[in-house]
Amino acid sequence: MTTIGIIGAGHIGSQIARKAVELGYDVVISNSRGPETLAALAAELGPRARAATPAEAAAAGDFAVVTVPFRSLGRIPAEPLAGKIVIDTGNYYWERDGHVPALDAGEATTSGLVQEHLPTSKVAKAFNHINYREITTDGTPAGTPNRRALATASDHPEASELVTRLYDEFGFDTVNMGPLSESWRAERDRPAYVIRQNAAELAANLAKAPRTI
């Protein structure tokens, strides 16, 4: 039995939890306001789910998903995520998150900054360029013609491999962008962002992405 610790239970976190429970994972969901505020979602998810604090969710997970606004990164607990694979779904919206000069200048990546905040974790970027609704609706079995593909990036091969397996279970092909330093290719306002693409289309869109927008 595999448990996923989910930090952030909004649009993306709740959808990943729904699909994961359907696939037979246990999930521990958390948010900033406390587990009592997640009672309805936990009830909807059923016996494979429970609500907890972010630190408890991080500690309970065999791996974790961090899916919070970028501005909340500093409050993600590093210690209980030490040594674990951490899937980061985040995007940088300066309108929401405040300006980060290194991101504005194209000198850093959001997931690279997550990796810096969680130095002993193995961070992978994933699920950042799909609309949350489509996580539970757009998956199809492996081998389906024109299957939708999603991108990932990590400095740790085992994290990329886990994402590839998870994407496949969720119903998506994978395009591996390489290290986190390349992860900007799938970010906002680039050609690959939140559109439906098969693997060949996604690879082509990633290749032509501009570094800054």
Ligand X SMILES: NC(=O)c1ccc[n+]([C@@H]2O[C@H](COP(=O)([O-])OP(=O)(O)OC[C@H]3O[C@@H](n4cnc5c(N)ncnc54)[C@H](OP(=O)(O)O)[C@@H]3O)[C@@H](O)[C@H]2O)c1
> Which residues make up the interface to ligand X (CB under 6 A)?
7-13, 30-33, 54, 67-70, 72, 75, 89-91, 128, 131-132
Q: How far is the CB of 17 from ligand X (least distance, A)?
A: 11
Q: Phi/psi at 173 (nearest 5 deg)? A: -75, 165
Q: How far is the CB of 9 from ligand X (least distance, A)?
A: 4
Q: How far is the CB of 123 from ligand X (least distance, A)?
A: 14
Lookup result for tokens 């996580």: 135
Q: How far is the CB of 134 from ligand X (least distance, A)?
A: 8
Q: Which is nearer to ligand X, 3 or 8 (CB)?
A: 8
**Which among 61, 45, 48, 49 is positioned nearest to 7, based on CA atoms?**
61
Q: Which is nearer to ligand X, 49 or 68 (CB)?
A: 68
The closest residue (CB) to ligand X is 10
Tokens representing 156? 């740790």
Rounded CA-CA distance 213/209 in Å is 9
Q: Which is nearer to ligand X, 67 or 176 (CB)?
A: 67
**Which among 4, 10, 6, 11 is positioned nearest to 132, based on CA atoms?**
11
Q: Which is nearer to ligand X, 30 or 121 (CB)?
A: 30
Listed in sequence order, the DSSP H helices in the chain are 11-22, 39-45, 54-60, 94-97, 101-104, 110-117, 157-170, 199-207
Nearest 10 degrees: Cα torsion 188, 190, 196, 198: -130
Q: Which is nearer to ligand X, 10 or 157 (CB)?
A: 10
